Amino acid sequence: MEYETKAASPEIRDAFDDFLSAFEQFKAANDERLTQLERRSSDVVTEEKVDRINKALDEQKRALDTLILDAARPALGTERKANDLDTRESKAAFDRYVRKGDAQGLAALELKTTASFSAGTPGDGGYTVPLEIETTIDRVLAKASPIRAIATVRRIGGNVYRKPIATAGAATGWVAETASRPQTDTPTLAVIDFPAMELYAMPAATPTLLDDSAVDIERWLADEVQTVFAEQEGAAFVSGNGTTAPKGFLSETIVADASWAWTKLGYIASGADGAFASSNPTDALVSLAYAPKQAYRANGTWVMNRKTESVIRKFKDTTGNYIWSPGVAAGQPPTLLGYPVAEAEDMPDIDSDSYSIAFGDFARGYLIVDRIGIRTLRDPYSAKPYVLFYTTKRVGGGVQNFEAIKLMKFAAS
């Protein structure tokens, strides 16, 4: 996963250097393991050493990702212009609503700005949060959710986004200068609907926190909901049911790539049940990398969880080079066979018949729709003495191009 940072802090640089050093130790230990295997003299101690360093690499990578994400989190209010009266009014009105339950200012603002926001009352779902909070949450979601970071994202004003898709183009052909031009077939079109599903979080605050004027209440609310939103989204974009949540790409109909057809995703077999093939395990990965057409391969990204990545980290190509490499700098994603790796913890672990690896152009293959507006309803009654903040956003998603994404099935065929 790639994060945007203006400049890596000394703490991030040190963590990245430690990660690179650990990777060199891992390669040395794994080289020793492979040499022993070639000599038919595998040592249990060496195997345990490789696994121990591999797990340590995962932990260091997780810590590094956390540091980079924290550094990339934008400060609320940095985009507000000092003379923007409407923004200052909305900020002050929202602050009064969250702290004291005073909804009059927000109601007046929302009625005044119906072109930008949907007017609301506590009875029909709460009030629209200021745009600054919404922008901050969306930014952090894009950095924390691996699928959102690589997919196409559209902002919509309604509840459903309808997209026409050309599944077959118009027929063409070559003709002589004076030959007749037979009528060609018309393009084949399909329509895919992407409904926006409701995602919610309900953080609780104490009266003391709300009464403390030193607390940035906008920052508190954004921090409380953005992590749980990102976690729920990440799971839905991978395996959501499409009924109460966005439809994940693993919830589509999946067939062997040789039998691929529109509305289905194709898979390449790993060569063994619940594992990579014992000999030449990288062959399946190469086959998967070349399964999408060249137009999609150029912007390809691997998607897998850390456990799967730790298995692949041990593999070498036929020339003895490791096929997995760390990012060239702090904040850059690792690569596999030259393509970036997005670490999605919601991808399944390697198991019998699991689809644990995806590869393709997710920007063209998967679409996420965000309905404009995040809403908050203040509830001081349900959990006294705590005040609950029922915060909702509407998000949809699904595969928009079934050619662009391919999967690996951990099976013999």
User: pLDDT digits over 347-364, tens only?
Assistant: 999 999 999 999 999 999
> Which tens digit of pLDDT belongs to each residue from 55-93?
888 888 778 777 776 666 655 544 444 445 566 777 788
CA distances from 99 to 95, 205, 218, 337, 378 (A): 6, 10, 11, 52, 9
Half-sphere exposure of 328 (CA within 13 A, CB side): 3
CA separation for the pair 234, 267 (Å, rounded): 22
Is 60 exceeded by the pLDDT of residue 254? yes
Residue-by-residue DSSP string for 395-410:
EEEEES-TTSEEEEE-
CA separation for the pair 82, 89 (Å, rounded): 12
Half-sphere exposure of 82 (CA within 13 A, CB side): 0
In the chain, the percentage of residues whose pLDDT exceeds 70 is: 86
pLDDT of residue 3: 41
The mean per-residue pLDDT over the stretch 205-229 comes to 88
Is 50 exceeded by the pLDDT of residue 346? yes
SS3 call for 181: coil
- Average pLDDT over the chain reads 85
Is 90 exceeded by the pLDDT of residue 237? yes
User: pTM for the full model?
Assistant: 0.83
Q: For tokens 């900020």, what's the residue?
A: 91
Nearest to 157 by CA among 200, 107, 118: 118
> Which tens digit of pLDDT belongs to each residue from 14-38?
888 888 888 899 988 898 888 887 7
CA separation for the pair 112, 375 (Å, rounded): 17
